[in-house]
């Protein structure tokens, strides 16, 4: 996630974060994750999406869940985030809420009991699910999007479906599903396979986390994708967008910018430059398609990003969100407990691109430096979302993390050394979930000499 462009980023970010609700602390919020992540769940999603002429969605989510853990399960936990997008749960939705109504929850063809609290959907199992066993869970529900909401949103005749379906949680000594937190990304999902069928009341432009192919308005379709962390879908009125396809190495970039703005060519050119830079310097992205939507969303999703809707803010936002394809998607982490590993490392990576582009480190890291200086950051960066103050999340994650790494590499080989490290880190952890302890271990092994004094000064 990125909040805004260099100067605008700082001001808008502070306004947004300053208004975020305080989050109730949980007993495990003091936890520091030290053990390597174990892949304990597997999900195959078959999602059917129907949009009515009245802008209501009907969704049937059929999910094959396999227990890859060593324990038996008596229930299965999902994130159903739209349920938390209302004023009762999250005060940023005062007056404009998501509305969701579950009509049925079925397990292997039989009605199942369930509970829904905040964004936690717990489905009870009639029979325990043992290791390696599979069960099908089907959730049927209707949904209306918040108008002008955060991430999941309807803007005029455009629909942005972020975290809109039941997303299988992760299981480590129980289901680890935190309450929804609009301060950052509070949901932690594993890679899964998706088939998504959509039916629309008229022709729209459709962009998803899967391969969508040629840009053309359509009212129906089916897309499939593998190894996708969370599935995003945009449904856009073709009259409101300019769009084109450009090539970045072996990847097709599909670029959508507002028809009211003359920014398609510049956005496409910058996207190609950034994408090719990260492939050259950090490593190959194995996916065939990346969609870029200029809707002021400032958010990353697998194989699709939301960026600025104006040229002034575009450079830093677009570069940051493209870098997230490497750090958040292809190397993943728990964003609730360790958001620095994707947001901070991504901001460091995008600052390196800007520095190289203009051969000016001060300019390249201006945004990070400004964020760090505006509010005093936390001493340690690997804190859960609920441990950050409203302002210090921004200054710590987007400011301190990239600046600490910059200072280290300024004394140890500069930009080239930094990019070589990121490339090795990416190669080691591609399609894996990494935590702070694994990062520290890798850092120690990569560089000669004892690095503990440096690392322990900012990592718990």
- Measured in degrees and rounded to the nearest 5, phi and psi for residue 146 equal -65, 140
> Total structural domains in the chain?
1
Confidence of residue 22 (pLDDT cuts 50, 70, 90): very low
Whether 439 maps to a domain, the answer reads yes
> 4 pLDDT exceeds 50?
no
Task: Express each pLDDT in 105-125 by its tens digit.
Answer: 999 999 999 999 999 999 999
Name which of 51, 82, 50, 243 is nearest 151 in CA terms: 82
Sorting pLDDT into bands at 50, 70 and 90, what band is 39? confident
* 420 falls within a domain: yes
For the cut 70, the answer to whether the pLDDT of residue 254 exceeds it is yes
Please indicate, yes or no, if residue 30 is contained in any of the structural domains. no
Nearest to 220 by CA among 201, 238, 233: 201
Band of pLDDT at residue 92, cut at 50, 70 and 90: low
H helix count then E strand count, the chain: 11, 21
3-state class (DSSP) for residue 81: helix
pLDDT digits (tens, 9 = 90+) for 389-405: 878 999 999 999 999 99
> Please, are residues 150 and 181 in contact by the beta-carbon 8 Å criterion?
no
Q: Are 248 and 271 within 8 A, CB to CB?
A: yes
For helices 311-323 and 343-358, angle between their N-to-C axes, nearest 10 degrees: 120
Mean pLDDT of 2-10: 42
Q: What stretch of H or E contains 129?
A: strand 120-129
Contacts of 111 (CB under 8 A, 6+ apart): 104, 105
Q: What ranges make up the beta strands (E) of 148-240?
A: 153-155, 158-161, 167-168, 192-208, 218-228, 233-236
Give the pLDDT of residue 26: 36
Cβ atoms of residues 220 and 200 within 8 Å? yes
Residue 181 banded pLDDT, cuts 50, 70, 90 = confident
pLDDT of 182 = 82
Do residues 23 and 181 lie in contact, with contact meaning Cβ atoms separated by under 8 Å?
A: yes
pLDDT surpassing 60 at residue 7: no
pLDDT at res. 86: 87
* Residue 100, strand partner residues: 143
pLDDT at 11 over 90: no
Pairing label, strands 134-144, 120-129: unpaired
Q: Give which of 259, 281, 268, 279 is closest to 318, Cα–Cα.
A: 268
**Residue 11 belongs to a domain:** yes
Strand 241-248: give its sheet, edge to edge: 241-248, 251-258, 289-293, 304-306, 299-301
Q: Please, which residues have CB within 8 angstroms of residue 258's CB and are 6 or more apart in sequence?
A: 240, 241, 242, 294, 295, 309
Checking if the pLDDT of 417 tops 50, the result is yes
At residue 6, the pLDDT reads 39
Element (H, E) at 306: strand 304-306
Where in the sequence is the domain holding 387, given as residue range(s)?
6-23+334-456
Closest CA to 264 of 311, 296, 297: 311
pLDDT above 90: residue 237: yes
User: What average pLDDT does the segment 212-217 reach?
Assistant: 98
In a domain, residue 447? The reply is yes
With a threshold of 0.85, does the pTM exceed it? Answer: yes
Q: Does the structure show a pLDDT above 70 at 279?
A: yes
Using one digit for the tens of pLDDT, what is the confidence trace for 317-354?
999 999 999 999 999 999 999 999 999 999 999 999 99
| % of residues, the chain, pLDDT over 90 | 86
Contacts with 427 (C-beta within 8 Å, 6 or more apart), sequence order: 283
Task: Give yes or no for a contact between 63 and 46, defined as CB atoms under 8 angstroms apart.
Answer: yes
Distance CA 170, CA 190 (A): 7
Q: Which helix (H) or strand (E) holds 48?
A: strand 41-51
User: In this model, does residue 143 exceed pLDDT 50?
Assistant: yes
Residue 394 lies in a domain: yes
In whole angstroms, what is the distance from residue 47 CA to residue 237 CA?
A: 22
Residue 88 lies in a domain: no
Cβ atoms of residues 387 and 243 within 8 Å: no
- Of 191, 165, 178, the C-alpha closest to 37 is 191
HSE of 300 in the Cβ direction (CA atoms, 13 Å)? 27
Give me the mean pLDDT over the 254-264 stretch: 97
Identify the CATH number of the domain in which residue 447 sits.
1.10.390.10
R_g of the chain computed on alpha carbons? 21
Mean of all residue pLDDT scores within the chain: 92
Buried residues in 364-391 as b, exposed as e (16+ CB within 10 A): bbbbbbbbbebbebbebbbbbbbbbbbb
Stretch 184-193: mean pLDDT: 95
Which H or E run contains 141?
strand 134-144
pLDDT of residue 306 exceeding 90, the answer is yes
Q: Does residue 371 fall inside a structural domain? A: yes
| Residue 147 pLDDT exceeds 60 | yes
């Amino acid at each position: 996630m990125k909040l805004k462009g260099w100067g605008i980023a700082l001001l808008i970010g502070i306004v947004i974060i300053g208004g975020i609700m305080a989050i109730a602390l949980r007993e495990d919020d003091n936890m520091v994750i030290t053990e390597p992540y174990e892949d304990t769940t597997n999900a195959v999603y078959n999602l059917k999406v129907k949009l009515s002429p009245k802008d209501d969605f009907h969704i049937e989510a059929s999910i094959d869940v396999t227990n890859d853990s060593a324990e038996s399960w008596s229930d299965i936990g999902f994130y159903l985030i739209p349920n938390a997008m209302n004023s009762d749960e999250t005060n940023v939705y005062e007056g404009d809420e998501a509305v969701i109504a579950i009509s049925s929850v079925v397990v292997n063809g039989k009605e199942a009991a369930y509970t829904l609290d905040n964004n936690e959907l717990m489905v009870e199992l009639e029979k325990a699910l043992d290791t390696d066993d599979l069960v099908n869970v089907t959730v049927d529900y209707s949904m209306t999007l918040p108008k002008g909401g955060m991430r999941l949103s309807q803007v005029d005749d455009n629909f942005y479906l972020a975290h809109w379906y039941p997303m299988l949680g992760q299981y480590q000594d129980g289901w680890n599903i935190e309450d929804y937190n609009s301060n950052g990304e509070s949901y932690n999902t594993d890679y899964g396979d998706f088939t998504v069928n959509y039916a629309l009341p008229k022709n729209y432009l459709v962009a998803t986390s899967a391969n969508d192919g040629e840009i053309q308005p359509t009212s129906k379709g089916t897309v499939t994708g593998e190894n996708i962390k969370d599935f995003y879908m945009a449904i856009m009125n073709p009259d409101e967008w300019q769009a084109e396809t450009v090539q970045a190495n072996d990847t097709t970039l599909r670029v959508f910018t507002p028809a009211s703005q003359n920014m398609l060519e510049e956005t496409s050119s910058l996207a190609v430059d950034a994408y090719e830079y990260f492939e050259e310097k950090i490593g190959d992205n194995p996916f065939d398609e990346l969609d870029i939507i200029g809707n002021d969303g400032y958010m990353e999703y697998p194989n699709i990003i939301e960026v600025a809707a104006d040229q002034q803010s575009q450079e830093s936002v677009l570069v940051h969100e493209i870098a997230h394809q490497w750090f958040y998607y292809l190397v993943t982490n728990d964003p609730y407990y360790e958001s620095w590993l994707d947001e901070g490392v991504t901001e460091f990576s995008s600052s390196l691109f800007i520095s190289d582009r203009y051969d000016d480190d001060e300019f390249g890291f201006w945004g990070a430096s400004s964020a760090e200086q505006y509010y005093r950051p936390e001493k340690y960066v690997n804190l859960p979302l609920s441990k950050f103050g409203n302002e210090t999340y921004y200054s710590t994650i987007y400011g301190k993390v990239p600046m600490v790494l910059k200072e280290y590499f300024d004394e140890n080989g500069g930009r080239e050394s930094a990019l070589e490290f990121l490339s090795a880190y990416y190669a080691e952890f591609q399609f894996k979930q990494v935590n702070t302890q694994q990062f520290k271990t890798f850092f120690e092994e990569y560089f000669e000499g004892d690095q503990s004094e440096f690392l322990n000064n900012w990592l718990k």
